[in-house]
Structure 1
Amino acid sequence: MTASAPPPVGRAARLRLRRTLHVATRGAQLLDRQLHLLRAELAELRRAEAAARDEWEARVREARTWLLRGLLISGEDALRTASRVPPAHVTVAWEDSLGVRHPGRTAVYPGVTDASDAAPRNTALAHAGTSYRAAVEAAARYGTASTAARLVEARLRDTTVRVRALHRLRIPRLQQNLTAIELALEQSEHEDALRRRWAARRTRPAAGG
């Protein structure tokens, strides 16, 4: 691997490098703050995801229980009539949080049954239909919360990589280059001072001349 080229030496180069270092340091500070906010946001989304998953699983268990009761009462043939339900329609409103666009609120519109469709043969099947609709709504909320958590987590990983690159590579390299420039300038100024003193001694008239 070839060595990196030395930084340009000069007061203008030092000024530019100081500005670049300031921008990099300020950027790292802002990203550090964003990381803190993203971690808090992700923790909140994960809690919402866990609660939505628990609700969805509970709704599915409840619906299955009612369905089993209805089938025990009226037999499996009753399921053919009870299952003739149009599919539900789900809409998702997208939101922006800390620069991350993710799904937010959901709305579930159940399929509309025709007036001529046969009604459930017993109340257990009717309860099962209601419970399954609730399960669909819970599934939509769970999917939304899970997707939002994944998107924020992805942004958190990307931001973490950027912060580490600034702290471990970019800023130390800039500081090293700035130190090298300042040392070179100090040496150059010292040599200039020596040359001026030497020139002054050579041009000074001899005593008694």
Structure 2
Amino acid sequence: MAEPRVPPGRAGRLRLRRSLEAARRGADLLDQKLRILRDRHEELLRAERTAWEQWYEYLARADEWLRRGLLLGGEEELETIRATRPAELTVSWTSTMGVRHPGAAECTVPAREADEPVASNTALVHFEAACAEAVRAAADYAVARAASRALGDEAVRTRRRVRSLRRHWIPRLEEALHAVDLALEQSEHEDAVRRRWAAGSRQHGG
């Protein structure tokens, strides 16, 4: 970060005071933003963990029903229930403290048409339903993960900016202001001495 550029004299002191006030106000605002980001990030991390657990649960359930279905009907039964149309995913977006991120996912798994073949045993029917739930849970997990990453990254950037302001820029401005105050004080003292000396000289000369 570059050193503050200071005009000489009182104009420089005024500029430094304004810059210091703006830097402190900016650091306070960034602190507030960071607190909000951290709170929201924690919420999204919990949502991400919950979504992952639900996804894993549906996958495990689907795997169990698949094993049962294969035992009852054989692998050729899988061709019967093969999906003919892809799932449809719609992601809505939102913003937190200026950070745009996914807000929610709406995942639609098309139902079978009336004339399409269905599984010949109940286990594979349950397998198909569990797969649909797993797809929806995967979409929820992807949204929560992307949102938590976006806010987590912004929190890191904001923390770095706060640290830079409080540890580097604000101390430099304070040091520069202190130096200007000392210089002005010294200059005013020297001016006062010169005025007294000039006044004394006039009195003695008169």
Task: Give the TM-score category using the shorter length.
Answer: over 0.9
Shift of 1:114: 3.5
**CA contact under 8 A between 2:6 and 2:15: conserved in structure 1?**
no
Q: Which amino acid aligns with 1:102?
A: H
Aligned-partner Cα distance in 2 for 1:19–1:6: 13
Shift of 1:112: 4.4
**CA contact under 8 A between 2:37 and 2:96: conserved in structure 1?**
no
**CA contact under 8 A between 1:94 and 1:104: conserved in structure 2?**
yes
**CA contact under 8 A between 2:4 and 2:172: conserved in structure 1?**
no
Deviations 1:138-190 (A, max 9, x none): 00000000000000011011111111110111111111110110000000000
Equivalent residues in 2 for 1:56-75 (5 A)? Answer: 56-75=55-74
Shift of 1:5: 8.9
The TM-score normalised by the length of structure 1 is 0.93
The residue aligned with 2:53 is 54
Identify if the C-alpha distance between structure 1 residues 152 and 6 changes in structure 2 by more than 3 Å, giving closer, same or farther: closer
The residue aligned with 1:151 is 150
Aligned-partner Cα distance in 2 for 1:161–1:154: 11
* Percent identity over paired residues: 47
Equivalent residues in 2 for 1:159-174 (5 A)? Answer: 159-174=158-173
Aligned-partner Cα distance in 2 for 1:5–1:170: 9
Identify if the C-alpha distance between structure 1 residues 53 and 114 changes in structure 2 by more than 3 Å, giving closer, same or farther: same
Aligned-partner Cα distance in 2 for 1:47–1:122: 38
The residue aligned with 1:128 is 127
Tell me, what secondary structure is at the counterpart of 1:90? Answer: strand
The unaligned stretches of length 5 or more in structure 2 are none
Tell me, what secondary structure is at the counterpart of 1:108? Answer: strand
Aligned-partner Cα distance in 2 for 1:39–1:9: 42
**CA contact under 8 A between 1:85 and 1:112: conserved in structure 2?**
no
Which stretch shows the higher mean deviation, 108-117 or 41-50? 108-117
**How large is the RMSD of aligned CA atoms in angstroms?**
1.6
Shift of 1:86: 1.5
Q: Which runs of 4+ in 1 moved over 4 A?
A: none
The residue aligned with 1:180 is 179
Shift of 1:75: 0.9
The unaligned stretches of length 5 or more in structure 1 are none
Count of residues in correspondence between the two structures: 204
The TM-score normalised by the length of structure 2 is 0.94
Aligned-partner Cα distance in 1 for 2:196–2:76: 111
Aligned-partner Cα distance in 2 for 1:151–1:5: 33
